[in-house]
Structure 1
Amino acid sequence: MDTYTFATSRQIDFPVYIRINTLEGKQTPVPYSVLLKHPEIRHVGSVQSSTSELYVTAQLWAESKPLGVSIQTPHMFFKNSRTWNKWLELPVLVKDCPISSQIAITVWDLSACPANGSLDHTVPYGGTTITLFDNDGALRKGRQKCRVYRNRAADGQIPSSTPHIPRPKRRKRNQEPSSPLPEQEELERLEQLFKKHEMNEIPQNDWLDQLVFQSVGKKAREVDEASRKRSAVRKIAKRKAAQKNATGSGNGAANPPDNSDEESESDDELDDGEQFTLYVDFPRWDFPVVFEDHEYQPSKLMREFQATASVSAIGNNKPPPEVRYGPGIAAGNSIVDDEDYPVIQIFDPEQFQKENPCETKHRRLVRSDRNAYSDADQKPNAKLRDELNEILSYGPTQDLSPQEKDVVWTFRRYLSRDKRALVKVVKATDWSNPSEVRQMADLIPRWAKIDIDSALELLGPTYDSPVVRAYAVDRLRQADDAELLLYLLQLVQALKFEKYDIKEEGLPPSSLARFLIDRAAKNFILGNYLHWFLMVECDDEGPDTNAANRKLFARVEYHFMVELEKRDPEQRKTLLRQAEMVAILSRISKEIRFSRTNRLSKIESLKKYLADPKNELIKIDPPIPLSLDPEIEVSGVYPDEAGVFKSSLSPLLIHFKVANSPSNAATSTSTQPRGQSQSQSQSQGKYPIIFKTGDDLRQDQLVIQIITLMNNLLLKENLDLKLTPYRILATSPSAGAVQFIPSTPISAVSAKYKGSVLAYLRANNPDSSGPLGVRKETMDTYIRSCAGYCVITYILGVGDRHLDNLLLQPSGHFFHIDFGFILGRDPKPFAPLIKLCKEMVEGLGGTTSPQYAQFKQYCFTAYTALRKSSSLVLNLFSLMVQSSVQDIRLVEEQMGTIGGAVGKVRERFHLDVSEEEAVRLLDQVLADSVNAVFGVVIDRLHEFVQGWRA
């Protein structure tokens, strides 16, 4: 079969055209009895002559409303037939026409005596209405036959009273349907063949075509004559029936007449004697043109409604609410019959956005001051205790129903002994009710101390009560600096949800900003990261950022600098020196990046820049804490060991001179375990970093922070998976530094050792008595690190995984880099959910080896342990929903509602199933990833592209 090709109406940047061809039909002379009653009729042009002057107007309509003005043909004089053959250009483009578009065509006659003294001498000769798109949604093309309704102007309403194809007549009661005459069916069949012949779908033969045209013309005249005769017979029959009914009614013996179809009969009676047909032409296209609507971006309210309706339908197994249109309003080109829809249902987008007024009134009565203390000593029975325990087990993203809110509020004092219940009670509180706010303000200080993850949830965007946020900040004061550093990135984002008085000079003592400034001023490591996190947000002037947020971060940074000036001026000077060094590195990086030379020339230029005394990098005196890792003080750089990576952004590799050791740091707050290679580099007095410009590192910074947090959570469960959470710091929205870990990509290992990771491990750690000929500690490190990163990248939905961003160290440490796609986004189609390539499995000895079984066991154990702390991870992501992290912003826009990113992470935790079922699902994902064919194809394509670029 040939390839079927079509175009869409959105591609047709062309006006709507229609050609008025010929009006055919025989006009019945007006009886003298009518002329005596209405003498003005004798002055109508068509009454005086069967070929009188007529003109035609065409106007586009849609949804019972006109689109533009009407266009008319010029005045013409006819000899034998009324033929115009004139194209009319309507003032609307095809791409702008909705599916319900139709053209109202009216043939106008002239009258010397207009009715009612009007100055308009035109009277309607007849009208017809034809849809622009047919029933299949295709744009009409070629010749069309339109029924003309005498003495009526075309009706553009939906449904139209002048359709170009008459609707079937209504039958009376107990009346059998009338079948069309065989002559009419044959004539319609021939007309369809004529249309195909005109479209060159039937081969043309001139001499034979002339004979056929003459025969068909004769046949058409015979059908018209037979139709007029039948019309005359029906009129006589109706007249006799009317006289008989009148006689019967006079005697009082006849049945009352049936007037159910009186209107339709009278309408048909006008047209039975005269059947006129107007032939029009639409432009012909090489391909069928199918209607395509313009997709408008739905409003925020509609997106939230759709998301809420879909969740409600899934949770309750109920279909979405049915939406019907009112009288005279149709969806698309469908016809609405008012008799079939006596009840009008109106779509209300606020149905799932605002509470039911009856429920609001009920809750206000139940929670009034009269009942404020009556439930003080109430205790739930066994059934209610089970219900409360189930509510307390809900995750942070699950909302409470009105009934659940009432139950939680009723037993709020009973629940005050449970630290898990505070968040649920806060959700159940109506913070617009002063009485409930007053009761919660008295109850919260006496509540059992909540965990840090619950405090983080209370700092999110959905809680704006100053009482609640002040309590959450007070709970954060109990955390030490090491724990606070784990959440500092999210706490800085949570500043957006604070409400400050612009006229107030300082910051409220109970605010989150004041708390962070006080803690950061006491600890330089916290102050270092707080300073750079704030500076990045202040410099972010992207199109998706909010100017008010930039002012907020600038205000907090100002107060932080003021506080440092009071407490420790040297710390402020240190931060300023760090900013100067970062500015110098940014300038050098940009010059190297935009220089039009090869990589070797760029490396030589970099060495010269670093060795230039004007840049003050060859020797830094006194030593300065590195902004990437403030525990490390650096005293200079090694210019001869600098390098430039193969990349379009030309990242710089710089080795700093280490002036101190991490063990000598007086105020160590590090939460990241240091890898073997890192310790070796620092013991040699070097700290290598990668500095790059032109790339936003905030997303990679977030992923590394979550990996560091998950590593700490696993270590608390006595599970060391040998992770390598290297450090990343974004110094601006388009620049940053990355800790360099000496390692080898799996692609290079595969190329050197013929696709064998096991051969690489054997070459660096040989042991004939060890598992698979590798030293036992190295193999154990490889197994653990593979399991850890498989689970973590699965939970975070890390995408774009290939052999160049999977790295391996000689010690067996396996880790991922380059987190440009997260939350399930992936530029490659059919990518597996976990990157478990055949090279990784080969390093484990295959899927049947004991090492692979141990690898799976580590995956299950780590996944189970992280599911227990899922609330903490979800709360951290909920604080990032309004951040400038690329994939979080994209997911929020695609989902159309706040919390889309949190939902993506929650899906990977499978919190709606049991622990055994979740492990079984993870096992299935691992099996699918090992057997994924597209993963191998993607790796080979990536190798080909990289080789071609090189």
Structure 2
Amino acid sequence: MEAFHFATTTDLSELSVHVKIDRLDGHQKPIPYSVLLKRPDLRHRASNTNPHSELYVTAQIWADSKPLTVEVQTVYKSFKNARIWSEWLPLPITYASLPVSAQIAITVWDLSPAEDKDSDKHAVPFGGTTISLFDKDNTLRKGRQRCRIHRFKPADGLSNTTTPWVIPPARKGRNDAPQEHAVDEQIAEMERLEELLKKQEMGDIPENPWLDKLVFRKMEKIKDKALEAEHAAINRRKSQSNGTDGLSGQDPEADLFYLDIELPRFDHSIVFTDIEYPPPPVSDIKLSSDSEIRLRPPPEVSFGPGIGTDDAEAGRLIRIYDPEIGRRANPAEDKHRELMRSQQTDSLDRDRRPNVHVRDKLFALIDRGPLDELTAQERDEIWKFRYFLSTRKRALTKFVKSVNWHNDNEARQAAPMLDKWAEIDVDDALELLGPQFDHRVVRSYAVERLKKAGNDELQLYLLQLVQALKYEAAGDGDDSSLARFLITRAADSLALGNFLHWYLSVEASDNSVDQAEHYRMLFIKVAYEFHTELDNTAEGRDRRKTLRRQSELLTVIGRLSKDVREGSGDRTTKYQRLKKALADPRNELISFEPLPLPLDPSIMINGIYPDDCNVLKSSLMPIVLNFRTTDNKKYPFIFKTGDDLRQDQLVIQIITLMDQLLKKENLDLKLTPYRILATGPVTGAFQFIPSMSLAAALSKHKGSLLSYLRANNPDEAAPLGVRKEAMDTYIKSCAGYSVITYLLGVGDRHLDNLLVSPDGRFFHVDFGYILGRDPKPYAPQMKIAPQMIEGMGGMDHPNYLAFKEYCLTAWSTLRKSSNLILNLFALMKEANIQDIKVEREGSVKKVEQRMWLGKSEAEAGREFEKLIEESVADRWAGFIDLAHDVMQRLRG
């Protein structure tokens, strides 16, 4: 007896349902003139004017009398001699998601230039059929199927369908005419030949090309005769009946049509299997002592260490001590893996190749995000086929995770594989510098990959690389390949050296309780080694003097900012005091030797304009200065005391990175990632962008942002009176910041921290709340104020559709770089940043959740478009803006 092989529907978790619409065969009775006189519109129906008219077919999955999917439709096709589509239709559902009662409702649609009286549409049902996907044995149907078409009815898909694909034969009486028996014999012969054709298609009957052509011609003739005979028999049975169809005045049983379809074939039978969910955990609900009557005393229990016996509300649940709780792994599994990998199997593993099922499983593991954990079985599979995977660069991080690097024997086998692996990208190298990879070999390999990155690219990740120093093996920077690499590259680059100096200075001067003392000493040590490296060359010594002069300059400015904030008097008095201090020669601010600007070392400054300054209206009273550049231009500069700008610095760095990622895909969304630099734990500076808050713009232009854009960029020939370049800039920047602030979970959004510049650039400032935190209740996930849409011309204007398209494109583009973004946030888990230290482990997960990586591209796109629509229509967000405006007026 042969072994029975089968698969289950749960094995087809990623395969969508398909059905092939092949051909339509049948006979149609001409419409009597008496009917045409009553219904002249029937004269124009395509199927009544031409036996090979253009029809189209729709298919839809139903189950339990409810539709499970939307309809899919065949493409337009012109027929000559027969109605043959031969088209596969993909249905938007996987086999694993099908219930056992699933059916395909297939409708053939006729066309008419005159609207149908019942549906008011130009498409009327030619006929329909409903076929179940599983047979009576719960086995998936496959191969060619011949479905009876019920004329003038759309397929209903109901459990007790009125359009079944097979009509059971009528019971025969003794007095049945001989013609009826002849018809049955012809139909039975046609069905027998179709079964043989199925077997040949399945490979059970060998092919013979020259003989098969003759057989197929003969089968076509037999099929046509059988159809004619069956059609004639139906007309005879209906000859005494006058029942008509209300749609067309015709008898729906007078016409006979069959639709040939084809379902996918599999190597084995596919049996329906329901999804098995893990059992629910044991309830931990505590019952009060008087909640129920106990008929017998509870048994005596010996409690383990750490479990008290004074819980009077334990109820009937008995807690016992499990000595394995708290273990990170099963010791038996660890021992098994160690024994298996300790064997000298390199020669065998080198030539080992996975089968198709295992290969697809391995490729799926590679595509998973950096935050997904690998099971013990998955780690064993990756180790087993490590040589096969070594040609795929994305697999290296998964391989490193599958190795126990604390086991010397296992690490000794794995280390040579790193050099043989395909060269990884920078985002994977950043992952290998995370906290879970503490082996020197792994981190050194990641550093070697970073050495191939240019200075501009390295500067984008420098903030995270400084934080990655915390994860070095010794914890104090001794023999750190990453620290040595950063020092060497920064000593050779003005820009890298500038930012490395300030990033290390801020961390080294952080004496708060949230910064561990050994971390602070680590940054002091690396900073010392960096300046020692600079002293080795004459150019380096000059650069060290430059960094010292920068520190002196910002120290003076910081003292002035603190005096303004803590000094007495109103804002006008503070402004006059600041202006006088800037002009004081003792501060040496009016003119000095050219110096690279700490915010942007590519800009050289040589003084400050003392008369062109300001004190902003804010609780911390930040000051606005204007530096004089060496080419006699102004560089506006804001200095703030009393606020930790490291969180804002991180957000701007991520926005800058995302801007670069979008531009690589030729998508310039006109973002404004202004420069920002934390110069201390509670001090910092950022670039001032000439702009106006939305609240101020609306107040000045009578509540219309469009009027603001029109006033600054007039063009009477443009559709909205706004210069086209300015409107495009506004739409693109609105889309870019809407997507990015959603991904980063930026909160506390109101019209005072949404800014717009005269040239139409829209941007966000003040990132005091990120990763989903927000001081206001019911805050929207995505901030799209109605005033922003009004500036585009409203929701009915084509600009709004362009805005949504830019949003979806940016969303899709950034999702493709999810690994890089998540790895950068993972490196910041131990940073002393306000919203990260609230939940260090969950901070990266919050970013991952907003990318919806578990959903397909199409599904995520639909959900994101729905989120945009909901955000635009969110009235509660408008109420929050109104309440904020009222509070600001009361404070003013």
**Residue matched to 1:239:** none
User: 1:837/1:326 Cα in 2 relative to 1: closer, same or farther (>3 Å)?
Assistant: farther
- TM-score normalised per structure 2: 0.65
CA distance in 2, matches of 1:326, 1:855: 68
Q: Residues 244-643 of structure 1 correspond to what in structure 2 (within 5 A)? A: 317-321=278-282, 327=300, 333-334=312-313, 346-348=320-322, 351=325, 353-500=327-474, 508=479, 511-567=481-537, 568-620=540-592, 622-643=593-614
User: 1:851/1:799 Cα in 2 relative to 1: closer, same or farther (>3 Å)?
Assistant: same
CA contact (8 A) 1:396 1:871 kept: yes
CA contact (8 A) 2:648 2:767 kept: yes
Alignment partner of 2:826 out of 873, 878, 883: 878
CA contact (8 A) 1:756 1:842 kept: yes
**AA of the residue aligned to 1:380:** P
Shift of 1:370: 3.5
1:368-424: CA deviations, max 9, x gaps?
Answer: 234344322111111111010000011000000111011001011111111111100
- TM-score normalised per structure 1: 0.61
User: 1:335/1:425 Cα in 2 relative to 1: closer, same or farther (>3 Å)?
Assistant: closer
Identity %: 53
Alignment partner of 2:713 out of 757, 765, 790: 765
Single out whichever of 770-779 and 353-362 deviates more from structure 2.
353-362
Aligned length: 598
CA distance in 2, matches of 1:766, 1:444: 60
1:742-783: CA deviations, max 9, x gaps?
Answer: 000000111111211111111111112213121111110011
CA distance in 1, matches of 2:832, 2:846: 17
**2:780 pairs with 1:821:** no
CA contact (8 A) 1:757 1:842 kept: yes
CA contact (8 A) 2:753 2:764 kept: yes
CA contact (8 A) 1:766 1:775 kept: yes
Shift of 1:862: 0.3
**Residue matched to 2:665:** 717
CA distance in 1, matches of 2:820, 2:475: 30
**AA of the residue aligned to 1:561:** H
CA distance in 2, matches of 1:428, 1:395: 15
Q: Residues 23-172 of structure 1 correspond to what in structure 2 (within 5 A)? A: none
Shift of 1:500: 3.6
Alignment partner of 1:933 out of 854, 875, 879: 875
Partner SS, residue 619 of structure 1? coil
Q: Residues 520-919 of structure 1 correspond to what in structure 2 (within 5 A)? A: 520-567=490-537, 568-620=540-592, 622-660=593-631, 685-892=633-840, 898=841, 900-919=842-861
Shift of 1:854: 0.4
Shift of 1:692: 0.8
1:66-103: CA deviations, max 9, x gaps?
Answer: xxxxxxxxxxxxxxxxxxxxxxxxxxxxxxxxxxxxxx
1:436-466: CA deviations, max 9, x gaps?
Answer: 1001111111211100000000000110010
Shift of 1:327: 2.9
Partner SS, residue 875 of structure 1? helix
**AA of the residue aligned to 2:411:** V
Shift of 1:349: 8.4
Partner SS, residue 773 of structure 1? coil
CA distance in 2, matches of 1:315, 1:431: 36
**Residue matched to 1:26:** none
User: 1:762/1:331 Cα in 2 relative to 1: closer, same or farther (>3 Å)?
Assistant: farther
Partner SS, residue 420 of structure 1? helix
Partner SS, residue 641 of structure 1? coil
CA distance in 1, matches of 2:665, 2:589: 43
CA contact (8 A) 1:832 1:928 kept: no
Q: Residues 238-249 of structure 1 correspond to what in structure 2 (within 5 A)? A: none
**Residue matched to 2:190:** none
Shift of 1:335: 7.3
Partner SS, residue 335 of structure 2? helix
CA contact (8 A) 1:788 1:862 kept: yes
CA contact (8 A) 2:434 2:826 kept: yes
**AA of the residue aligned to 1:575:** L
Shift of 1:332: 5.0
1:692-743: CA deviations, max 9, x gaps?
Answer: 1000000000000000000000000000000000000000000000100000
1:783-837: CA deviations, max 9, x gaps?
Answer: 1000000000000000000000000011110000000000000000001111111
User: 1:941/1:789 Cα in 2 relative to 1: closer, same or farther (>3 Å)?
Assistant: same
Shift of 1:589: 0.7
Q: CA RMSD in A?
A: 2.0
CA contact (8 A) 1:722 1:781 kept: yes
Shift of 1:334: 4.7
Partner SS, residue 639 of structure 2? strand
CA distance in 1, matches of 2:582, 2:381: 67
**AA of the residue aligned to 2:280:** P
Partner SS, residue 710 of structure 2? helix
1:882-932: CA deviations, max 9, x gaps?
Answer: 00010011122xxxxx3x111000000000000111111111211121111
User: 1:848/1:572 Cα in 2 relative to 1: closer, same or farther (>3 Å)?
Assistant: same
CA distance in 1, matches of 2:726, 2:823: 36
**AA of the residue aligned to 2:590:** I
CA contact (8 A) 1:561 1:572 kept: yes
Q: Residues 160-239 of structure 1 correspond to what in structure 2 (within 5 A)? A: none
**AA of the residue aligned to 2:561:** S
CA distance in 1, matches of 2:277, 2:548: 58
CA contact (8 A) 1:369 1:435 kept: no
User: 1:886/1:507 Cα in 2 relative to 1: closer, same or farther (>3 Å)?
Assistant: same
**AA of the residue aligned to 1:636:** G
User: 1:631/1:845 Cα in 2 relative to 1: closer, same or farther (>3 Å)?
Assistant: same
**Residue matched to 2:263:** none
Alignment partner of 1:946 out of 875, 888, 891: 888
Partner SS, residue 535 of structure 2? helix
CA contact (8 A) 2:439 2:473 kept: no
**AA of the residue aligned to 2:624:** L
**Residue matched to 1:666:** none
CA distance in 2, matches of 1:552, 1:700: 24
CA distance in 2, matches of 1:812, 1:315: 55
Structure 1: give runs of 5+ residues left out of the alignment.
1-313, 661-683, 893-897
**AA of the residue aligned to 1:940:** L
CA contact (8 A) 1:458 1:469 kept: yes
CA contact (8 A) 1:507 1:514 kept: no
User: 1:581/1:423 Cα in 2 relative to 1: closer, same or farther (>3 Å)?
Assistant: same
CA distance in 2, matches of 1:727, 1:515: 25
**AA of the residue aligned to 2:616:** F
Shift of 1:501: 8.2
Partner SS, residue 457 of structure 2? helix
